Chain A
Amino acid sequence: MIGAAGRANGAVVATPRRADAPRAWPWALPVLVLLVPLLLWPLATILWRGLAPEGVPDATAIGAVLGDGYYWERLVFTTAQAVASTAVALLVGLPAAYVFAHIRFPGRAVARALVTVPFVLPTLVVALAFQQLVGPDGLLNDALAWFGLGRIEVVGTIWAILAAHVFYNVSIVIRLVAGVWANLDPRTEEAARLLGAGRWATLREVTLPALAPAIASAAALVFVFSFTSFGVVLVLGGPGLDTLEVVIYRLAIRLVELPAAAVLSTVQIAATVAVLGAYSLLQRRTARPLAQRSERARPLRDTSWAERALALCVAVVLALLIVAPLAALVHGAFTVGASGGVTAANFARAFEDPGRLSFVEPLNAMRWSVTFAGGAALIAVVLGTLAATAIARSRGRLAALADGLLMAPLAVPAVVLGFGFLITFNSGLTDLRGSPWLIVIAHALIAYPFVLRAALAVLRTLDPRLPEAARVLGASPLAAWRYVELPLAWRALLVGAGFAFVVSLGEFGATAVLQRREFATLPVAIYTSLGRPGLANLGQALAMATILMTVTATALLLIERVRYRDIGEF
C-alpha cells in the first residue's frame, strides 16, 4: 500500500542538510576578532588584578573584600533593591501589558509611544527628574505644603531608587510581555473556556504558562539593569545606599584600591552572566512562538466595564509614574533660580562657556556627545549586523553558543567596562589613556546588543527560501544578501542604529570612568554641574537634562515610526 506508506513518511518532513546553506562563521569571525581584545582582554585584566594584585597569585584582595562587612552590606543592598525593583516593575507592568495587548481605549497610540520613552532616557536625566519630583524641594513636597501637609523625605532612601527603577523598567515588561500576549492564539483560551475553565483558571492554566518565558525574560533583564544601576543610585542614593557599580566607580576613580574594585567587578559580572545566561535560554524559547505568530492574532476588543476600569487605572498609574517626573524636570528647568517665576536663564546658561578651566563647557559636551553617539552607532550597526547574521545562520546548540558569546557585552556593567579599559589600555602599543576613542569603543560595545536584537528578530523570521529564490535567479551569495536580506532587514537595522545612538547619548557609567574634561559628554556635564553648589548650577544641570531628554525622546519616537511591525524582543 504505497499510499499509506507515503503518508506515514510524509509525517517526517525531509529537511536534509543543506550543502549550499549560507555559512555562519565568516560573519561571526570579525565580531569575535574585535570582542576578544576589546572585551575579554579587559575582563581578564580585571580578573588578574583581583587574583594577583602584585603579579603573583594572592588571595589577600579577595579575602579583604569578602571579609569586609562594608562590601557585604553593599552586595546585599544591591541584590535586595534589584529584587524589589523587579517585583514592582512586574506588578505594574503585567496589568499594563494586558491592557496594551487587548483593550481598545482612547489615546492608546499615544500611551504606547509614551511607555517606550523611559527605557532610553539617560539615567542622569531620570535621576534628576525624580529629584525634582520627590526631592526636598520637589513638586511633591510643594503639593503637600499647598495642602497644608508635612514634608516627606524620599531622596536618600530606597524609595526614590525603587521609583526610578520601576519608571525605567516598566517599559521592558510591557514591551516583552504585551508583544507575546497580543499574539497568543485566542483559540487556545477559548478552548479552555469551553472545556469548563473559568476566567481565572484559564489565566492560570493556559495564559500564564504561555507567557511565562516572556515574563521570565523580562524579569531577568529588569533584575540585571537594576542590579548594575549606576546613575540613578549615584544621584538618588543616600549614605549606605550604594550599588556595587557605584562602589566600583568610587574605588576606580580614586585609583588606589584597584584590587578591591577588581574583585567587586568580578562578583558583579558573575551575577549578571548567571542571570543573563538564564535569560538567553528563555529568550530562545520565546523566539519560536514569535516566529510562528498566529495570523489571527486577537483583535482589540471593545471592552467590558471592568476592563475599562482597569485600563483607566493603568493609564493613571503610568501617567503618574512616567509623566510626573518628566514634567517635574521641565518645571525645574524653567523655574529653578527664578524665585517664583519662570525663566529661560537656565537654558541660556546651558549654551554658555563658563569661562573657567575647571568647568565643562556645555556646547563642547554636546558636540562630543553627538560625535560619540554617531561613531558608536556606526560601529554598533556593523558589528550588530554581522553578529545577527551569524546567529541567524547557525543552528541548534551552535546558535545558542553564538548567541551567548555575541551578546556577552550585555552582561558587562558599564562602570566595570570602563574600569577594565582604564587598567588595560594604559601602556605600550595600546596606551590609550586620555583618548576619546576608548569612549567610542565602550559605547559601541554597550549599544551593539540592541542592534543585534533588532536585526536578529527580523532575520529569524525571514523565509530562507527568499535568498534561495534569489540564488536561482542568478544572484551570487553576496548579491542575495545585498538585494534580498538587507532590504528586508534595513528597517530593523535603522531601529537598532537609532537605539544605539540614543543609548550612547545617555551613557554615563563607562563615560564617567573614562572621561576627561576636554571631551566630557552631556551626562558628564550634567553630573559636574549637579556637584557644584548654587541654584545656578542646579538650573544649568536641569536645563541640560531637559535638552537631553527632549533629544532622546524625540529620537525614540522617530524610531517607533520606522519600526513597522511590533517586534517583541527588547
Chain B
Amino acid sequence: MATLTVRDLTHGYEAGRRVVDGVSFEVADGRVAALLGPSGSGKTTILRAIAGLERPEGGDVLLDGASVLGRAPHRRGVGLMFQELALFPHLDVRANVAFGLRMARWPRDRRERRVDELLALVGIESLGERRVDALSGGERQRVGLARALAPEPAVLLLDEPLGALDEARKRELRRELRALLERLETTALLVSHDLRDAQALADDLVVLDAGRVLQAGPMRTVLAEPVSPEVASMVGWVRLAEGEARHGRVEEESVGSVAVPEPGDGPVLVMAHPSAMAALPVGDARDSGAHGTVIGAQPEGPLRVLEVAIGTGPSTRYVDLRWEGQDEPPLPGKPVALAVDPATLRYYER
C-alpha cells in the first residue's frame, strides 16, 4: 500500500489544448479517490501515465514520495483495470488472474492458492476453467478486477470500473466493489464520468475538466461545497438564477427573483441542489420567488415527480422535483413555484 502523488502532470496535445494540463492531486495510503470528468477531460490519460503506459511530457508521479517516472510499467507495482478489461482471450479465467503472479515468478502452489483466494474474493470461484469469451459482462468485470489485484499492487487504478454494465448489474457490482475496496484497504484511484459511481465508491473526489483539476478534496466537502459553478454543475447542482443582485435579491428574467444573503450589489449566480428543492403551486407560502415550467409528470402514483424547466432559451436547465402541492400537479406548460431552503443554496460572484 502506498500514497500516490501526481504533481503538475502535463501530457498530450489535442484539438488546440493540452489533454492533461498541470494536474496535481494526492491519494493518501489506503484511501479511494475518484477522478470525475466528462469524456475528453484527460482522465484515462492520467491513469495511463501513472501506470507507465504514457511517458508524461511534464510533471511527476510519486509512490510514497519517490518518483516512479523512470520505471517501466512492469516495474511500477501499479495495477490497472482497463475500461475494456483487455482480458487475454487465449487464457482461461484462472490463467488470466494468475498472469501477474507468473510474471512475478510466484511458486506454483502459492500462485494457485492466491488465485483461489481472489476468485472467491470477487465471487467467481466456479468460473476458473471458463474461457473469458464465454463470460457475461459482470463476470468479465470481476475477472478484470481479480487479475489487477492478484500481484498485490501498491496502487490500484480502475478505468470506468462499471462502465459497460447495464443499470441493474451496475448497482449490484457497485455495492460489492465498495465493500471490497473497504476490506482490502488498497490505495485506489478510479476514473468515472458517472457521479453516482464516484460517489458510491470513493472517499475523495478530484473533479477534472479540459485537462485541469477544478477541485479536489474529501467526497462530502466537494459535493456540499463546490468551489465554482462549474464544479457545482458537475456534481449535480443546477443554476437557480443569475443576474445583478439588487436590494438583497437577484432576478433572472423568465425565472423570477431569489433572495441573496449579502446586501452587496453586483453580478451573482445562485445554485441549488435538486435534492433540496420541491415544486409547489404558484403563490404558495414556501415560494422562493423563482418559477419553472412543468414539462411532464411521472409517475401517476402517490408521489409525483415533475420534470421542470427553469429559464428559457439555450440556458434552460431541467430538474426532476417532488410535487408538494395538495392538489393535482399542473399540466405540462403550466408554471410551478420552486421551493428551496435558502440555507442549502450556494452563491457565486460572477
Please report A residues at the B interface, Cβ cutoff 8 Å.
1-3, 5-7, 9-20, 463, 465-466, 468-477, 479-480, 483-484, 487-488
B86 interface contact, C-beta 8 A: yes
Look across to chain A and name the residue whose beta carbon is closest to the beta carbon of B208.
A6
Question: Within the assembled complex, what's the spacing in Å between the Cα atoms of A10 and B147?
Answer: 29
Most buried by B among A3, A11, A14: A14
4 additional A-B residue pairs with CB within 8 Å, beyond A2-B230, A12-B40, A473-B147: A16-B11, A18-B53, A469-B80, A488-B89
Given contacts A14-B12, A14-B42, A16-B14, contact A9 B53 (CB under 8 A): no
Contact across chains for B45 and A16 when beta carbons are under 8 A apart: yes
Most buried by A among B52, B54, B90: B90
Look across to chain A and name the residue whose beta carbon is closest to the beta carbon of B157.
A472
Contact across chains for A484 and B88 when beta carbons are under 8 A apart: yes
Rounded to whole Å, the gap between the CB of B323 and the closest CB of chain A is 26
Question: Within the assembled complex, what's the spacing in Å between the Cα atoms of A553 and B181?
Answer: 58
Chain B residues, CB < 8 A from A19? 54-55
Rounded to whole Å, the gap between the CB of B145 and the closest CB of chain A is 13
Rounded to whole Å, the gap between the CB of B174 and the closest CB of chain A is 22
Contact across chains for B90 and A488 when beta carbons are under 8 A apart: yes
Contact across chains for A20 and B53 when beta carbons are under 8 A apart: yes
Contact across chains for A9 and B147 when beta carbons are under 8 A apart: no
Contact across chains for B54 and A473 when beta carbons are under 8 A apart: no
Given contacts A2-B38, A12-B14, contact A471 B88 (CB under 8 A): no
Residue from A9, A20, A468, A473 within 8 A of B40 (CB atoms): A9
Rounded to whole Å, the gap between the CB of A1 and the closest CB of chain B is 8
B39 interface contact, C-beta 8 A: yes
Question: Within the assembled complex, what's the spacing in Å between the Cα atoms of A9 and B210?
Answer: 8
Given contacts A9-B38, A16-B12, contact A473 B151 (CB under 8 A): yes
Rounded to whole Å, the gap between the CB of B332 and the closest CB of chain A is 24
Question: Within the assembled complex, what's the spacing in Å between the Cα atoms of A488 and B89?
Answer: 8
Rounded to whole Å, the gap between the CB of B55 and the closest CB of chain A is 3
Chain A residues, CB < 8 A from B14? 12, 14-16
B234 interface contact, C-beta 8 A: yes
B104 interface contact, C-beta 8 A: yes
Chain B residues, CB < 8 A from A3? 38, 233-234
Look across to chain A and name the residue whose beta carbon is closest to the beta carbon of B43.
A14
Would you list which residues of chain B between 46 and 77 have a CB under 8 Å from chain A? 51-55, 72-76
Contact across chains for B103 and A5 when beta carbons are under 8 A apart: no
Chain A residues, CB < 8 A from B78? 472
Look across to chain B and name the residue whose beta carbon is closest to the beta carbon of A2.
B230
Contact across chains for B100 and A473 when beta carbons are under 8 A apart: yes
Contact across chains for A10 and B40 when beta carbons are under 8 A apart: yes
Given contacts A14-B40, A14-B42, contact A20 B52 (CB under 8 A): yes
Rounded to whole Å, the gap between the CB of B134 and the closest CB of chain A is 16
Chain A residues, CB < 8 A from B151? 473-474
Rounded to whole Å, the gap between the CB of B23 and the closest CB of chain A is 14
Contact across chains for B53 and A473 when beta carbons are under 8 A apart: no
B343 interface contact, C-beta 8 A: no
Most buried by B among A18, A20, A469, A471: A469
Contact across chains for A465 and B74 when beta carbons are under 8 A apart: no
Given contacts A12-B14, A469-B86, contact A6 B73 (CB under 8 A): no
Contact across chains for B38 and A17 when beta carbons are under 8 A apart: no
Chain A residues, CB < 8 A from B13? 16
B289 interface contact, C-beta 8 A: no
Contact across chains for A471 and B42 when beta carbons are under 8 A apart: no
Chain A residues, CB < 8 A from B54? 16, 18-20
Question: Within the assembled complex, what's the spacing in Å between the Cα atoms of A18 and B82?
Answer: 16
B281 interface contact, C-beta 8 A: no
Contact across chains for B40 and A463 when beta carbons are under 8 A apart: no
Chain A residues, CB < 8 A from B271? none
Question: Within the assembled complex, what's the spacing in Å between the Cα atoms of A476 and B71?
Answer: 11
Given contacts A2-B230, A16-B11, A465-B82, contact A471 B52 (CB under 8 A): yes
Given contacts A2-B234, A6-B41, contact A465 B84 (CB under 8 A): yes
Q: List 3 A-B pairs, minimum CB-CB distance, nearest first.
A: A6-B38, A19-B55, A16-B12
Question: Within the assembled complex, what's the spacing in Å between the Cα atoms of A14 and B54?
Answer: 13
Chain B residues, CB < 8 A from A473? 74, 79, 99-100, 103, 147-148, 150-151
Contact across chains for B73 and A471 when beta carbons are under 8 A apart: yes
B19 interface contact, C-beta 8 A: yes
Sampled A-B contacts (30; CB under 8 Å) = A3-B234, A6-B38, A6-B41, A9-B15, A9-B39, A14-B44, A16-B12, A16-B13, A16-B14, A17-B12, A18-B53, A20-B53, A20-B54, A20-B55, A463-B84, A465-B82, A465-B86, A468-B86, A470-B88, A472-B73, A473-B99, A474-B100, A474-B104, A475-B103, A477-B72, A483-B99, A483-B102, A484-B88, A487-B90, A488-B89
Question: Within the assembled complex, what's the spacing in Å between the Cα atoms of A176 and B53?
Answer: 37
Question: Within the assembled complex, what's the spacing in Å between the Cα atoms of A484 and B73?
Answer: 16
Chain A residues, CB < 8 A from B89? 466, 488
Chain B residues, CB < 8 A from A13? 39-40
Contact across chains for A2 and B39 when beta carbons are under 8 A apart: no
Question: Within the assembled complex, what's the spacing in Å between the Cα atoms of A15 and B234?
Answer: 24
Rounded to whole Å, the gap between the CB of A478 and the closest CB of chain B is 10
Question: Within the assembled complex, what's the spacing in Å between the Cα atoms of A470 and B233?
Answer: 38
B37 interface contact, C-beta 8 A: yes
B204 interface contact, C-beta 8 A: no
Given contacts A7-B38, A9-B210, A16-B45, contact A466 B74 (CB under 8 A): no
Look across to chain B and name the residue whose beta carbon is closest to the beta carbon of A474.
B103
Question: Within the assembled complex, what's the spacing in Å between the Cα atoms of A2 and B211?
Answer: 12
B7-50 vs A, CB cutoff 8 Å, 1 = contact: the mask equals: 00001111100010000000000000000011111101100000
B209 interface contact, C-beta 8 A: yes
Chain B residues, CB < 8 A from A475? 74, 99, 103
Contact across chains for B53 and A468 when beta carbons are under 8 A apart: yes
Contact across chains for A5 and B55 when beta carbons are under 8 A apart: no
Contact across chains for A5 and B234 when beta carbons are under 8 A apart: no
Residue from A6, A16, A484 within 8 A of B39 (CB atoms): A6
Chain A residues, CB < 8 A from B11? 16
Contact across chains for A6 and B209 when beta carbons are under 8 A apart: yes
Rounded to whole Å, the gap between the CB of B264 and the closest CB of chain A is 26
Residue from A5, A18, A20 within 8 A of B209 (CB atoms): A5
Look across to chain A and name the residue whose beta carbon is closest to the beta carbon of B84.
A465
Look across to chain B and name the residue whose beta carbon is closest to the beta carbon of A12.
B15
Contact across chains for A14 and B19 when beta carbons are under 8 A apart: yes
Contact across chains for A469 and B88 when beta carbons are under 8 A apart: yes
Look across to chain A and name the residue whose beta carbon is closest to the beta carbon of B41.
A6
Rounded to whole Å, the gap between the CB of B148 and the closest CB of chain A is 8
Contact across chains for B80 and A472 when beta carbons are under 8 A apart: yes
Question: Within the assembled complex, what's the spacing in Å between the Cα atoms of A2 and B79?
Answer: 31
Given contacts A472-B78, A484-B88, contact A10 B53 (CB under 8 A): no
Question: Within the assembled complex, what's the spacing in Å between the Cα atoms of A498 and B162?
Answer: 44
Question: Within the assembled complex, what's the spacing in Å between the Cα atoms of A270 and B304?
Answer: 79
Chain B residues, CB < 8 A from A14? 12, 14, 19, 40, 42, 44-45
Chain A residues, CB < 8 A from B37? 6
Chain B residues, CB < 8 A from A468? 53, 73, 82, 86
Look across to chain B and name the residue whose beta carbon is closest to the beta carbon of A466.
B86
Chain A residues, CB < 8 A from B74? 471-476, 479-480
Chain B residues, CB < 8 A from A10? 38-40
Question: Within the assembled complex, what's the spacing in Å between the Cα atoms of A218 and B41?
Answer: 44
Rounded to whole Å, the gap between the CB of A12 and the closest CB of chain B is 5
Chain A residues, CB < 8 A from B38? 2-3, 5-7, 9-10
Rounded to whole Å, the gap between the CB of A468 and the closest CB of chain B is 5
Rounded to whole Å, the gap between the CB of A561 and the closest CB of chain B is 18
Residue from B39, B40, B86, B103 within 8 A of A479 (CB atoms): B103
Chain A residues, CB < 8 A from B102? 483
Question: Within the assembled complex, what's the spacing in Å between the Cα atoms of A20 and B89?
Answer: 23
Question: Within the assembled complex, what's the spacing in Å between the Cα atoms of A463 and B234?
Answer: 33
Chain B residues, CB < 8 A from A487? 90
Look across to chain A and name the residue whose beta carbon is closest to the beta carbon of B11.
A16
Look across to chain A and name the residue whose beta carbon is closest to the beta carbon of B100.
A473
Rounded to whole Å, the gap between the CB of B88 and the closest CB of chain A is 6
Chain B residues, CB < 8 A from A480? 74
Residue from A9, A463, A471, A479 within 8 A of B41 (CB atoms): A9
